[in-house]
Amino acid sequence: MTGSSPINPNVQTIIASLKDKPGALLPILHGIQDELGYIPAETVPAIADALNLSRAEVHGVISFYHYFRDTPPGKTTIHLCRAESCQAMGAKDLENHVKNRLGIDYHETTKDGVFSLEPVYCLGLCACSPSMQIGNEVYGRVSAESFDSTIEALS
């Protein structure tokens, strides 16, 4: 590939350090998303080139997995569990509250760029339903009130 815009040197380092692993594509994509919060389209040619794949193949993998994103997330991403155990403990009401409070739907980011909201299908905290994850922090038995105080502390 020629003529593509220069990419972040850290991304180049990530690609170079992982490309020789067997099945390197997912580790590389995780590495880039950990670094930048998303996988910018301009990194795709460099990934494809390093792994001897087509850009379509790399794009296909990025788009297959719910976790990978090609747009920047808000400063903080909230993963709210929608699965059965959480539903049995009021997750639907919580979901409505969260969407109203943030003014966004799933897969959207607040206008001020502070919060992104993503659904998740089980965090393995089913004995503490309903649950959510913010960054690497997990929260159980979440209520509308505890959600509000958690995000107030973060905004």
Partner 1 sequence: MTTTVYVPCDSGALCLGADKVASKIVEEAKNRNIDINLIRNGSRGLFWLEPLVEVSTDKGRIAYGPVQPHDVVSLFDAGFLTAGTHPLALGLTDEIPYLKQQERLTFARVGITDPASLDDYLAHDGYRGLKNALILSGADIVKHVTDSGLRGRGGAAFPTGIKWNTVLNTVSEQKYIICNADEGDSGTYSDRMIMEGDPFVLIEGMTIAGIAVGATQGYIYLRCEYPHSHKALNTAISKAYEAGYLGDSILGSGKKFDLEVRLGAGAYICGEETSLMESLEGKRGLVRFKPPLPAISGLFGKPTVVNNVISLASVPIILDKGGEYYKNFGMGRSRGTLPIQLAGNLKQPGLIELAFGVTLRELLYDFGGGSASGRPIKAVQVGGPLGAYLPESQFDTLVDYEAFAAIWAVLGHGGIVAFDDTVDMAEMARYSMEFCKIESCGKCTPCRIGSTRGMEVIEDIIKGHDLNKNIPLLRDLCNTLLNGSLCALGGMTPYPVLSALNHFPADFGIADQADAA
Q: What SS3 state is found at 20? A: coil
- Report how far residue 116's alpha carbon sits from residue 63's, in angstroms, rounded to the nearest whole number: 18
Residue among 3, 6, 127, 145 that touches partner 1 (CB under 8 A): 127
145 binds partner 1 (CB under 8 A): no
The region of 3-11, 97-105, 109-117, 129-137 touching partner 1 under the rule CB under 8 A is: 129-137
Q: What are phi and psi of 107, to 5 degrees?
A: 70, 15
140 and 148 in contact (C-beta within 8 Å)?
no
Q: What is the DSSP letter of 113?
A: S
d(CA 119, CA 108): 11
User: How are beta strands 132-134 and 137-139 bridged, if at all?
Assistant: antiparallel
Site for partner 1 in 48-87 (CB under 8 A): 51, 60-61, 64-68, 79, 83-87
Q: What is the nearest approach in angstroms of partner 1 to the Cβ of residue 123?
A: 5
Interface stretch with partner 1, choices 8-16, 70-78, 95-103, 118-126 (CB under 8 A): 118-126
**In the complex, which residues of this chain contact partner 1 (CB under 8 A)?**
22-27, 29-30, 51, 60-61, 64-68, 79, 83-89, 120-129, 131, 133, 136-141
